[in-house]
Chains A and B, each alone.
Chain A
Amino acid sequence: MSYIARPKVSHPALARNELGLTMRDYEGGMSTLCAGCGHDSITGALIQAVFELSIPPHRMGKLSGIGCSSKTPAYFAASSHGFNSVHGRMPSVSTGAAAVNGRLQYIGISGDGDSLSIGVGQFVHAMRRNLNMLYLIEDNGVYGLTKGQFSASADTGSTAKRGEVNEQQAIDPCLLAIASGCGFVARGFSGDRTQLVPLLKAGLSHRGFAMIDVISPCVTFNDHEGSTKSYRFTRENAYPIGHTDFIPPEVEIKAELGVGEAQQVQLHGGGSILLRKLDHEYDASDRSAALAYLSRRQGNGEVATGLLFVEEGGADMHELARLGETPLADLPYERLCPGSGALADLQDRLR
């Protein structure tokens, strides 16, 4: 975790968003991850996304579990509240936080160890509840802080740095998410910011659980020959299923449609997504077809990226819990206590 403050240098020419803030205002502490770590690129993309969406930094909640990935919340949005929880348990903390105040933008950052091994139960159940949050898995197939053990997302046949071969099946978080009822499933690559930023913005604007698996190579323990989560392997085998453009609410009307097979999806949180398919076979709105397609690509050794599945309009946790506009945390006590009279009445029936 960072304990080195980033120097605050602001240039008058820096672009400002609707709130009058610059990208600098969305930065956090200096990263202490290894030089070249994919996670830092994701942090950069995330800063750009929340800046461009003009989300007030103090209205975001950044939550994480344990591991290299989970250090990320310390590296952006210094004026947001952060919650670095225990290993694999960030979804539950996010659930409680979101339940009592649905007005904040929750960003959960996890890793493949945190979400697919120790935390796989909570990960799946947060999707089942359709908690309103952006959930990132910074996926490098390896345990970095404990020096190079395979994670549950390591592909069968891939090798560790010291040569050991992984013989177990990999868990693909995207397949798992689609099967668990998640309404927004995407895969990005830390080395492709052009693709990642729109995915992040779309995920932030989706109402409900938005899961983005971001392949994020570990330069120290999993960037070698034989790794299937290396920069080289991902570059060579990434298979973008389409271009995703995020269209902010104010320019929506002007969006040009009809480029190839474009599909526009209205987002409940504002804005829309314009999907331009590269593979005509693919239908990102069909859950079972998406599962079949992705499994097939995976069988070919390809890593399908882009917005893999989207379904707008599902009731999120707030709706399911029939919560009102005022966050539970802000309800005045007077509206919560039935008072002494009600207590006396109640006890008449206990005699």
Chain B
Amino acid sequence: MPADNDFTIRIANVNGTGSASANSLLMKTLFRMGIPVAGKNYFPSNIQGLPTWYEVRASHRGYLARSGSVDIAVAMNAETYQRDLRELTSGGYLLYDSTWPRREVLRREDVHILGVPLARMCNENFDNARARILMKNIAYVGVLAALLELDLDIIRELLRQTFARKKPLLEANQIAIGLGYDYAREHLHCPLPFTARSMDGPGSQIIIDGNTAAALGCVYAGATFGAWYPITPSTSLMDAFRSFCSRFRTAEDETRNYCVIQAEDELAAIGMVLGAGWNGARAFTPTSGPGISLMSEFLGYGYYAEIPAVLFDVQRVGPSTGMPTRTQQGDILSCAYASHGDTRHVLLFPSTPRECFEMAATAFDLAERLQTPVIVLSDLDLGMNDWMSEELTWDDEYRPDRGKVLRAEQLEDMEAFYRYLDVDGDGVPYRTLPGEHPTGAFFTRGSGHNMHGGYTENAGEYQEVLDRLRRKWDHAATIVPRPEIRTAPGAQAGMITLGTGHSACREALDTLAGRGVALDYMKINAFPFGAEVETFLKDHKRIYVVEQNRDAQLRTLLINEAGGRAEQLVEVLHYNGMPIPATSIVSAVEADMLRDRAA
């Protein structure tokens, strides 16, 4: 049931009609009123003309996952009226453009239908055709302001800031807000039984998407080179990196302290990143599942030849092209073992924009420390949606961990250098950079090599290197980010998730606790898993593994790599392309417990 500061609004629209600014205005208004808020965009893989939805959830408890229910539907797309009506919660409100009355179409007894002649009002008040379309969107924000008692001063201030340099647009927007607001006050029952009330929820938090935060992380970590091939939903990461760099990395003489190359395909993008990493720069590529498939050959090369590289896989729905604008966590296994032969890759799993920012920097440090590709697995929900996030902070004392790189001064004193010797016993050899010193020269190859870096077809020499790589992997498990574990007194079982499963799990744990079910919780932050993950698995007889794919990929990885037992790990899966809501976790856990009791 909706309540004050606890409701979900879903706006149905046609893509390409400029609803984004109206939707962000609505979200920002709630945010500035101090109400925790989450915005999610469900958009088509299309430029113009197809249905698109934007969902705003207000939650005074700070829950940011998809709620899974709709209390107010703003139906701006006649094509989806039936669906929007069907998916509305009983007792909910459907707001539509009554310029064309649709009483006969919009028939459902248990909901309230609110008609506002948005098109007519805008046609009467604006001359220009484009404005008539755009301002309908702003007008519905005015209607919602009246229905939910949104703070009009905040709305007007936000418009002033947005259109500071576009006076005519500002004026039109202000008029449109008034049109919707006044009409609603006059013709509808205002306010609704639930409203938005100012509180102090977000504190110092910000609104940011994961891709922007990750791009900032790359800037702050000192990445100088990025190569990419455009692919939804990772494109905005490189867009943001370029834009931050043009601001922060352009010298006075207009030269650039960064280089971004739009590659001909993902095969080339990762090749460029490895070339740059080999040559000593911090280099990265953002991509999505199809890109990872294409990059796999080079990922194996990076693993075997030991070259630092950072990849961001902003996961979307697979298999194959799948649904490019929907979310999933379907690349866990393909990333963990990308490429032929015995390969394995370090993975990081951010669950919030702040973690996208921090883990970007961690990824570069790990990639150089371990001399290997590191993949940050984000997803569309995290990467492209607006999240309320803890403020990003930076320690100015931070210096990049370049790992074991021998510089000219050190090489000068050496008689010989061999690339793949395990000098320190941690499996991580020393490397040198091209051009540094004649003694440092070595031959980088993906073909069989011995610990001296020489070509080999000798069984023993080959295996020696492969075994050292395994030792390096074991060492990696001790330095990657540790899991976040929360224990609950009297816990009957455990719950594990990663990435965007986190916000839904947090909410589900609260709901379950309210119903007397206490669970210990672990959010996994990295692969290889490390000792704490193994201990958590040992300590719990029954564990719910929550993830967003069909094949329980995290669960498989826990069984393969952390001693998890099939009978202890219960699959909780959600993979239809929509972000996982807490309700689906709660019902899966309760159903399992019922089954367990019956058995």
Contact = CB atoms under 8 A, between A and B. Distances in A.
A155 B398 CA distance: 59
A86 B297 contact: yes
Contacts of A91: 268, 271
Contacts of A61: 279, 434-435
Contacts of B224: 100, 328-329, 331, 336
Nearest to B399: A333
B272 A323 contact: no
A109 interface: no
B328 to A, nearest CB: 27
Given A86-B301, A100-B279, A350-B207, A336 B256 contact: no
A81 B271 contact: no
B3 interface: no
Of B251, B432, B443, most A-chain CB atoms within 10 Å: B443
Given A347-B206, A350-B208, A339 B394 contact: yes
Nearest to A121: B264
B81 interface: no
A324 B251 CA distance: 9
Given A61-B434, A95-B272, A336 B222 contact: yes
A324 B259 CA distance: 11
B455 A3 contact: yes
Contacts of A81: 432, 434-435, 440-444
B278 A104 contact: no
A180 interface: no
A328 B272 contact: no
Interface stretch (A72-80, A162-170, A264-272, A308-316): A72-80
Contacts of B207: 350-351
Interface in A103-130: 103-104, 121-122, 125, 129
Contacts of A335: 257
A333 B221 CA distance: 9
A337 B222 CA distance: 6
Of B258, B276, B432, most A-chain CB atoms within 10 Å: B276
A249 B455 CA distance: 39
A351 B276 contact: no
B274 A93 contact: yes
A95 B275 contact: yes
A125 to B, nearest CB: 4
Given A329-B280, A337-B220, A338-B248, A84 B257 contact: no
A101 interface: yes
Contacts of A101: 279-281, 434-435
Given A338-B248, A351-B31, A85 B438 contact: no
Contacts of A321: 256, 259, 261
Given A59-B435, A101-B435, A329-B224, A95 B264 contact: no
Given A100-B224, A122-B271, A340-B393, A328 B259 contact: yes
Contact of A83 (B220, B225, B439, B444): B444
A58 B394 contact: no
Interface in B224-251: 224-225, 227, 244, 248-249, 251
Nearest to B458: A3
Given A125-B268, A324-B251, A340-B394, A79 B438 contact: yes
Contacts of B437: 58
B297 to A, nearest CB: 5
A57 B441 CA distance: 9
Contacts of A129: 261
Contacts of A83: 275, 278, 443-445
Nearest to B260: A321
A121 B265 contact: yes
Contacts of B435: 58-59, 61, 81, 101, 103-104
A97 interface: yes
A157 B298 CA distance: 36
B116 interface: no
A57 B438 CA distance: 7
Interface string B425-467: 0000000111111111111111100000011100000000000
A15 interface: no
A84 B445 contact: yes
Contacts of A12: none
Contacts of A328: 224-225, 257-259, 276, 281
A324 B224 CA distance: 12
A258 interface: no
Contact of A1 (B225, B254, B270, B445): B445
A2 interface: yes
Given A58-B435, A125-B264, A350-B206, A336 B276 contact: no
A14 interface: no
A331 B280 contact: no
Contact of A100 (B264, B276, B399): B276
A160 B227 CA distance: 40
B400 A99 contact: no
B179 interface: no
Contacts of A324: 251, 253, 255-257
Nearest to A100: B281
Contacts of B399: 333
Contacts of B222: 333, 336-337
A99 B259 contact: yes
A243 to B, nearest CB: 34
Contacts of A253: none
A162 B145 CA distance: 82
Contacts of B413: none
A319 B531 CA distance: 50
Contact of A84 (B254, B434, B439, B447): B447
A-B residue pairs, 7 tightest by C-beta: A92-B271, A96-B275, A96-B272, A324-B255, A81-B434, A100-B281, A96-B276
Given A61-B435, A121-B268, A329-B280, 10 more contacts: A61-B434, A82-B445, A86-B446, A96-B225, A96-B261, A99-B272, A125-B263, A329-B276, A347-B391, A351-B207
11 contacts: A73-B443, A78-B441, A83-B444, A93-B271, A95-B268, A101-B280, A101-B281, A122-B271, A333-B399, A343-B220, A351-B202
Interface of A: 1-3, 57-59, 61, 63, 73-74, 78-86, 89, 91-101, 103-104, 121-122, 125, 129, 321-325, 328-331, 333, 335-340, 342-343, 346-347, 350-351
